[in-house]
A and B are shown apart, each in its own frame.
Chain A
Amino acid sequence: MHIPDGFLNAATVATTAAVSAGGIGGAVRIVGKKLKEKQVPMMGILAAFIFAAQMLNFPVAGGTSGHVIGAALAAILLGPWAAVLIMSCVLIAQSLIFQDGGLLALGANIFNMGIVASFSAYYVYKLINWLAGANRRGALIGGFVAAWFSVFLASIFCAIELALSGSSPFAVVLPAMAGVHALIGIGEGLITGAVLVLVMATRADLLQLKRA
């Protein structure tokens, strides 16, 4: 879902850049206060894992592929603000070094795949834990649904930005983006659930910033 340069107009570039800059500023302040010392390596590991996992495009219907975003995993493990920082590191490196995602579109990409995906995943996960219980089953179901929803919602925001920029009419781009990402989200959900189970089995002590 990395938007290249040229798809967004100046107003959308400026707005998303401002919102994302503010989001990163808030994340630096909050994570700086709450992150425990032993969670510092976890930040590096999650960024490294999300970068590597994003390279693995899996096929979905009709000659299309998708890859995980990873924001849901980071948000569930370390909270939404830490996830925003991790996703920003990944997206900035992808844009600057790997020419994946435009330089001007960086703000929009951080907004969609960082801020929107992290916070939506985090609150859906909380909701499902509340409904299904904060146990292993709740974590697995919650992880799957939260990850699916984060991809779906990020694609809707991406479609809105494309429509506002005049790249494609709203009535066309919204169902197209939401439709294909509803499929890609299933992959995100499966991978997020699997990794959550692995982390819970090995290093449950590293989870969550809250009550720090």
Chain B
Amino acid sequence: MKSKWWLIALAICLAVACLAPLASSSPDGLERVAEDEGFLGLGQDSPYQIIADYVFPGIENEALATILAGVVGTLVLFGAAYGVAWLITLRKRQTA
């Protein structure tokens, strides 16, 4: 059980992601400042879109699309950071 503590932690992270539809949709601090001070228009859209604005494409229910985007991102980041940490400690483990 103790060695699998991270499974419980990952489940908590996924639960947090499922709260995403409740998030405030007001502009964030930087966006607000850019709008107020008149430089928001300088912003350029990305040349491509995958899961733009945390809404999974092709799903009509917006809450569901947001949750799916959050779940996908949470799993991707767990895998990515785990993988990076595993790779960069590889040499240390081999010499130990």
Interface of A with B (CB < 8 Å)? 1-7, 28, 31-33, 35, 37, 39-53, 55-60, 62-67, 85-86, 89-90, 93-94, 96-100, 102-103, 155, 158, 162, 167-168, 172-173, 176-177, 180-181, 184, 202-203
Which of A33, A35, A49, A86 lies at the interface centre, i.e. has the most chain B CB atoms within 10 A of its CB? A49
Tell me the smallest distance from the CB of A170 to a CB of chain B, in Å: 11
Measured CA separation A46–B66 after assembly (Å):
21
Tell me the smallest distance from the CB of B76 to a CB of chain A, in Å: 6
Set of chain B residues within 8 Å of A51, measured between Cβ atoms: 13, 17, 73-74, 77
B53-96, CB < 8 A from A: 53-54, 66, 69-70, 73-86, 88-89, 91-93
Report the count of interface residues on B (CB-CB < 8 A). 61
Set of chain B residues within 8 Å of A203, measured between Cβ atoms: 5
* B46 touches which of A7, A59, A103 (Cβ 8 Å): A103
Q: What are 6 of the A-B contact pairs (CB < 8 Å)?
A: A40-B82, A45-B13, A46-B81, A47-B77, A168-B38, A177-B30
* A53 touches which of B16, B26, B44, B81 (Cβ 8 Å): B16
Decide if the interface of chain B is mainly helix, strand, loop or mixed. Answer: helix
Tell me the smallest distance from the CB of B22 to a CB of chain A, in Å: 7
Decide if the interface of chain A is mainly helix, strand, loop or mixed. Answer: helix
B1 on interface, CB distance cutoff 8 Å: no
Residue contact B14 to A1, C-beta cutoff 8 Å: no
Measured CA separation A40–B23 after assembly (Å):
30
A203 nearest CB neighbor, chain B only: B5
Residue contact B28 to A65, C-beta cutoff 8 Å: yes
Tell me the smallest distance from the CB of B59 to a CB of chain A, in Å: 15
Further 14 A-B residue pairs, CB within 8 A, beyond A44-B79, A56-B20: A4-B44, A31-B88, A32-B89, A33-B92, A48-B74, A52-B20, A56-B23, A65-B27, A67-B28, A97-B50, A97-B51, A162-B39, A167-B39, A176-B36
Tell me the smallest distance from the CB of A25 to a CB of chain B, in Å: 11
Set of chain A residues within 8 Å of B47, measured between Cβ atoms: 103
Set of chain B residues within 8 Å of A44, measured between Cβ atoms: 6, 10, 77-83, 85
Residue contact A93 to B73, C-beta cutoff 8 Å: yes
